Amino acid sequence: MNLSLIAIVLVGLVAALCGLVVANLKAQQRDVQAAWNRLDGLRRRGMEAVPAFVAAVSQDEAAAQRVASSPSVVHRALDDVAAASRASASAEDPHAAAAADDRLVQAIERVYAAAEVEPEFVASPASRKASAQLDAAMEALAHEQQIYNNVATIATNAQRSFPALLFAKRLGLSEPQRYESEAAARRAALDWTRGSLPSLADASPHVMNPQMLWASAMADAAIDDRTDDRRR
């Protein structure tokens, strides 16, 4: 009788543990999706400033070309921005979005470089305003990238740990993609020196059990290593 009672208690404990692990995995997936929705929303709001930037710089370029003696290099760079913006808008997953966003930033940087070497080009207040809006969007994106990648790292490490890895496979969960934008990372590196980025505890609002705390520690170590590499 006692053995039967012990067996029932053990089965109940195992079932409760399994339920807790599954609940944590599902909660982490919701955290990842919510973090990506915020990041993607910032991306798309930032892209809304691109047409105004292209239009304002195009007007400045047209004015410059009326007195220029050589073909425009700014115009070609603006064409690249428009194409890169369309590609960025069509990207849906974090990996593709990061690559497309980097190409967009590179195209915008080429506009700045082209304008500097074109002596007749003068930036209007509208161009400066549009440029400031793009810069603000990039700064916000740099912060949100770190939050999203923190959440994704916690979820990935938890899925790889025992016993969660057994349930992750059965639930059909895949490891979340990271958003590895080099342009946003360069901006974030400046803010890291000021300690302005949120902690992993802020990024993952759920109460952590020992397994999740281990995953968080692993994520912190990985992020610290990446920061040291950037600073070197």
Q: Please give the Cα distance from 191 to 118 (Å, whole number).
A: 33
pLDDT at residue number 225:
55
pLDDT by 10s per residue, the chain, length 232: 577 766 666 666 666 666 676 777 788 888 999 999 999 999 998 888 899 888 888 888 887 777 555 556 788 888 899 999 999 999 989 999 999 999 998 998 888 888 887 777 777 888 888 888 888 888 888 889 989 999 999 888 888 877 766 766 777 677 889 998 887 777 655 444 344 433 333 334 333 344 444 444 444 555 455 555 555 5
Check: CB of residue 141 under 8 Å from CB of residue 43.
Answer: yes
DSSP 8-state secondary structure symbol assigned to residue 194: T
Question: Which two structure tokens, joined as six digits, stand for 57?
Answer: 């710089």
Check: CB of residue 24 under 8 Å from CB of residue 209.
Answer: yes
Q: Please give the Cα distance from 81 to 190 (Å, whole number).
A: 25
Check: CB of residue 49 under 8 Å from CB of residue 56.
Answer: no
pLDDT at residue number 197:
37
pLDDT at residue number 137:
86
Residues contacting residue 129 through CB under 8 Å, at least 6 positions apart: 56
Residues contacting residue 178 through CB under 8 Å, at least 6 positions apart: 94, 95, 98, 148, 149, 152, 153
Q: For the chain, state the CA radius of gyration.
A: 24
Residues contacting residue 72 through CB under 8 Å, at least 6 positions apart: 61, 64, 65, 118
